[in-house]
Every structure is written in C-alpha cells, then in structure tokens.
Amino acid sequence: MAGGEEKTLSPEETIHQKFGVKAGYMIEEVHVSSQNSCLYRCHLQLPEFSVVSNVFKRKKDAEQSAAELALEKLGIHPQDDDHHHHITVEEGWDDIAEGIKYIFSDEFLSSDHPLGSHLRATLLRDGERRGSVPVSAIAAFDAKINSRCKVINPSVDQDPILAMSYVMKAAAKLSDYIVVSPHAASLRRKSPYPPAIIEGLATHVESIKVEAVHIKCTKKDEEVVEPVLLDVSSDRYYLDTIAEKLGLKDASQVMISRAISKTFSGYECRVYSAIPKLTSSNDLKKSRNAKASFVSGQDIHGDAILASVGYTGRSHDLEHDNVTLKSFYRICCGMSPNGIYKISRKALIAAQLPLLFTRESNWRGPFPREILCMFCHQQQLAEPVFTTSTAPAKSMSDLLSSFNKIKDDSDNQYLSRGNWEMPGSGKGYRCEVKIFSKSQDLVLDCSLKKLYEKENDAIQNAALKALSWFSMFFGDMDVESLEACSTDDDLNIQFNQRNRFKETFPSSRVYELPEIIRNGDLYKSRRSMGMMPWEKKRVQNIANGSLVSICYSVYLKKDAEYSKKGKSLKELIESNEGIEFEVGHGSMNPHLESVVTQMSVGQYVCFSTGLPAEGLVLAAANDTAKALSLLSGLEYSVLLLGVKGPTEERMEKANIVEKVAEGFFLQSLKD
C-alpha cells in the first residue's frame, strides 16, 4: 500500500471511529435444534438506537453484521474500495486482468477467497470442463474485480452481463496464461497445475441437500413459484447442479445476481438464471421473468432459482441454508417501504407504514429516515440527501392569541388560557430530500412547505413523504409511461423520469403512476388510503395520539360451507404478545385499529375481515401449502393490554393546530 493511501475501515472500525466507548456489543448464544453447534447473535447498542444481527457460526461475523446494520440505519454504506474513485478506466482494465491472472495462480488455490473454493470444486470435474471457472462467478464473487468493473461503467450493479463481458475482454489479453472458452462463458488456466497441488485437493467433501425456490417463467406471462430441492453430491460443483435444474448444460451458462437478502442463519440469497440469448425486443418481452427480476433488482429472463448456497471466506466448505416459499414472499414484501416497516415490526399483517411522524417517543420501529436509507440501498440508489432550512414563525401562544381574537367570547373554549405559553421558538424547520441514481441522475426531489418546531421532525416527515411516494409504485406494475406530478400546498414533489425506469429503479418493473397521483394530490390521496370506511359511524373510546399496547393473533379461516370437510378450518399465521402503536396515524391496518379504539383495557375481542394481498399472507404463514388452501378470510383475536393517553398540553396543541392550520397559520407565516 502506498504511503499516502488510507486503509478502508471495517464496519466495526467505522462504528468505533464515530461512537467510541458509546457503542456496546453484546453476544447472545442461539441454540437451534437442527444444528449441533452453537450459533451467535450480536446486539449493538448506540446512543440513539440499537440493532440485532442475524445468526452466525462465529461471534466475529455476528459483530460485523450488527455493525453493518447500524451503518445502514445511519445511512452510511462504505465503498468496497474507496480508492477506486481515483482510478482511471485504463487502470481499471489493468487491475481486472491482474485479478484474473492471480485467480489462476498456484497460491490462490489455498487461499480463503470464495473463488478459491469455486476453483477447487471445478478441478474435481472430469474432461474439458476441469478447472474452468464460470465468468459469472468471477464477476459476482471477486469484490475487487467487480469494483473495477464499476470504474469502467457504474451500471454493472444492474447488469451482471456487462460485468461478465468486461471480465471476458480483460481475460482475452492474457492469452499466454488463460484460455477463454469459445463456446461458453468460462475461463481456465492454460498450463496444468502441479500434480502435488491437485493431490492436495482430494479431501472429503460432504454431499448436501438444500431447499430452494424455482421461479418458472410460463408461456401465459405468469410466473409459477415452486419449492425445489438442490442435491449437491460430494464430487459435484454446486453451480452445475443449479444449471441442471434450470435445464442448462453446465455452470458456464448460469447468471448470478447480487446478494439480495439473508436467511435466518445469516447466509446470502441470490437468484440464479440462464444467461439470456435474445435476438429481438420481442424476445425480451416474452422471456422476462417479472418475479425474479423484481427480487433480484436485475433483468432476469426465463426460469430462475432463488437459493442460499455458496462459498465464503470463512471456510472452504459449501455453506447453505434452506430458502422456502415463505422466504421468497418475505423478500418480495421487503422490497417496498411498507414491507420494510412491516418486517421490522414483525407484524406483516397487522402493521403498516404510518401516515405521519409526530414525535420520537411515540414512534415504533425504524425511523422514516432509516427506512428511506434502507430502501435506497436495496434499490441501488444513492444515499438520500437531506437539506434543512429555517424560517421565522410565530410561537404557538401567538397563534392562540390571534386565533382567540377571531372567536366569540361565548364559544371560545381556549380564552381562559390566553396567557399560557405553548411551545414555539419563533422559527421553524423545513426539509427537502433528494434521491439520486448511482450515476447522480435525479430520481426524486421532495420538499415540505410546512414548518416544524424541531429539525429532526422536519427530516423524518420529509423522509416519510418520500417513502409514501415510492410506496405508490408497488401496486400495479405493468405500464411503461411515467410522468412528473404536482401535489398539494404542503408538499412539492418532482419526479424525474427521463431514462428507462430500470436505470433508476432496478428492482422494479416499468411502473405507471397511480391515477390518484397523476390527478395531482399525493398527501390527500395517502390520507384517503388510510381512511376507514366506517370511521364516521363508530364511537372511538381512545383518543388520537394515544399509545396503546395490544396482544393479538391472526388466523386464516375458511368457513364450514366452503370447506371440503364441512367444518371450519383455521391456521395461525401471525401473533404478538405485546405490540405498541400510536392511534390515529395509520401505523396499524385500519380494520385492527378501528376495533382497538372502541375497546377498553382488559377487553378481549374477536372479529373477521377479508384477505389482504395474497403475497402478504404467504409471507406470514409458516405452512405455505396449507395457507393456499385457506385463502378465504382472516380472523383476529385481540386483547387490549394498556393505553397511555396524550398529555393535555399535546392535545391542546393538536386542537389549535388543527383549527388554525387551514388558513390563519399559513397567513401568519407570510406576515
């Protein structure tokens, strides 16, 4: 390393640099009945929030996972190699060639690099394929080569074929060392390895069987999602097994997606598919696998397999974990802002992304800013850019005094409090958030006209409005046109869609703006979606702004008249022994919140509703096959554990703002 270069910090080092002794790690042992060894989970406590890692075999991996999650919540995503920003395109090409040459060196075979295990596995093959490593594996699993491909073209994140083409082109310059297969996307060493090295590879490798998900692309333009078992024998390369399941000749024809999610045990999930051979735009349309493209963030054509199997730098063994249909639908759910929130609260059916951010103490789950950072990272967008500004604003007591002047004394319920000082510092905060693509093209510019008393409130509400906007795109996903749209007086939104949508939203299909947005009012449309149809008819016992705690269970239910056995059937799909939410801001589904607000503490209620989206039910259900047979309706059982009402001061303030905000408040800001 050159003297002037700085070492890239690990996630743990970055956390220590920012928080020092204020960051506390706690390791928890996790005992899983299906495994003999003990697993570990890490709890990382920071001054403002805490995170919990996935489960790992090693304590160090759990600590690293927790640090990565914390950085993600903070909106910090360290580059794979910060230095690559200072590398020229020509140097990038040279580094790719050097990296390929090193992969096929003698010493690389014994390294802990994931590709070392790939190479060792291919050397156990017979015939001409012996020692041939798929180009897709090199492009996907060599971080340095991948980062140098990004130097040449940042779009490689969304286009694995582009990265593969760069690897092939660089390898062609190494004809003295590397053989580029003329018929397949694979590379092998030109000269044979020394016999002693090959003999050293003859170690015992266990056969494995691992569950995966087969996403079939049918002729009817509908994908069929089915479980599939990958049986990898001890003498076989696992990518050859996946290729066989996809109907391909061998691993050289398999395209590998980026890591899109992790299993409970912390292993990465990827989508495997055929390298497309398309000759026309018509082929492109017919063969596109919408579901696989959606979860991978890349264009997938033909059948695909979602699996958690592969090599890591932790050991030479093939690591794996089961991926079920439930796993698949949870990944789909987690692609949207609403889904991210649902999963974080462990309440896929009950919870939903709130409509408003009121105060930190009443908010449950990750804050809107954290969710927006997660969403942008997931969608391969740049980190959101928040800009706050201040403007003069009258204090609440001034507003109250002015409001009292325009009311008759006889009906002015606030007159006796004319001298009461409401919170207000004489200035307010306003926030704008901009979202850019990785190539710095503007995707979304969202700014609030409303002033907030606290800077953090302005930031969180701006993030929430942006999330509400993006949530609109996770409904109908079939039409290609996108337009900019204006909104109401509280919100300025500019949505810039000059290029094809996949360039800014890789994990989405080409979307059409929902009609209610194209007609011009995002905020009111978002409110109307959260409105309960029976809201005016019911009697609400619990005031808006109250913090309630409930215990609930949700069952899939099929009535006797629709059951083949002639009796009612039920299946538990979600339960929570204690969950809190703030009333009146849409943080629970409207059916559940409507019932809860009519209950008394200690009361137990059962009620039935229709079904939410099928994918949401399948993401929550443990037995997917059984759930599919019971898709009739839901039954809720709810116990109200407690209610913490809003303070009198807060209710007074809310009443004033509600009455004044429509007209007088805006006028006072102009004054």
pLDDT digits (tens, 9 = 90+) for 573-593: 999 999 999 998 889 999 999
Same-domain status, 116 and 68: no
Give the residue with greater pLDDT, 112 vs 240.
240
pLDDT confidence tier of residue 72, bands split at 50, 70 and 90: confident
User: Does residue 39 surpass a pLDDT of 90?
Assistant: no
User: Does residue 515 surpass a pLDDT of 50?
Assistant: no
Domain end (from 44, 73, 102): 73
Q: Identify the three-state secondary structure at position 189.
A: strand
pLDDT at res. 276: 86
pLDDT digits (tens, 9 = 90+) for 455-476: 999 999 999 999 988 888 775 3
User: Does residue 148 surpass a pLDDT of 80?
Assistant: yes
Same-domain status, 463 and 512: yes
pLDDT confidence tier of residue 204, bands split at 50, 70 and 90: low
Same-domain status, 62 and 112: no
pLDDT digits (tens, 9 = 90+) for 53-69: 777 778 888 898 889 88
Max alpha carbon distance in the chain (Å)?
101
pLDDT digits (tens, 9 = 90+) for 351-369: 999 988 888 888 998 999 9
Contact 211, 323 (CB under 8 A): yes
Give the residue with greater pLDDT, 528 vs 42.
42
User: Does residue 284 surpass a pLDDT of 80?
Assistant: no
pLDDT confidence tier of residue 237, bands split at 50, 70 and 90: very high
**CB under 8 Å, gap of 24 or more: what pairs does 516-520 form?**
517/469, 517/472, 517/485, 518/483, 518/485, 520/485, 520/486, 520/487, 520/488
Domain end (from 73, 102, 119): 73
pLDDT at res. 517: 39
pLDDT confidence tier of residue 405, bands split at 50, 70 and 90: low
Confirm whether 328 is domain-assigned.
Answer: no
Angle made by CA atoms 419, 422, 424, in degrees to the nearest 5: 125
Same-domain status, 253 and 193: no
Same-domain status, 27 and 49: yes
Confirm whether 331 is domain-assigned.
Answer: no
The count of structural domains within the chain is: 5
pLDDT at res. 594: 93
Give the residue with greater pLDDT, 33 vs 199.
199
DSSP H helices in 10-104: 11-19, 59-73, 89-103
pLDDT at res. 37: 65
Same-domain status, 372 and 521: yes
pLDDT over 70, % of the chain? 74
**CATH code for the domain of 67:** 3.30.160.20
pTM of the model: 0.74
Least confident segment among 174-188, 304-318, 518-532, 556-570:
518-532
pLDDT digits (tens, 9 = 90+) for 634-658: 999 999 999 998 765 555 555 544 4
pLDDT confidence tier of residue 519, bands split at 50, 70 and 90: very low
Q: Which domain holds residue 233?
A: 208-323
pLDDT at res. 481: 30
Confirm whether 641 is domain-assigned.
Answer: yes
Same-domain status, 178 and 283: no
Average pLDDT over residues 101-128: 88
Same-domain status, 390 and 505: yes
Same-domain status, 183 and 212: no
Same-domain status, 53 and 182: no
Confirm whether 189 is domain-assigned.
Answer: yes
Helix count (H) and strand count (E) of the chain?
23, 21
**Average pLDDT score, the chain:** 78
**Chain center to CA of 261:** 8
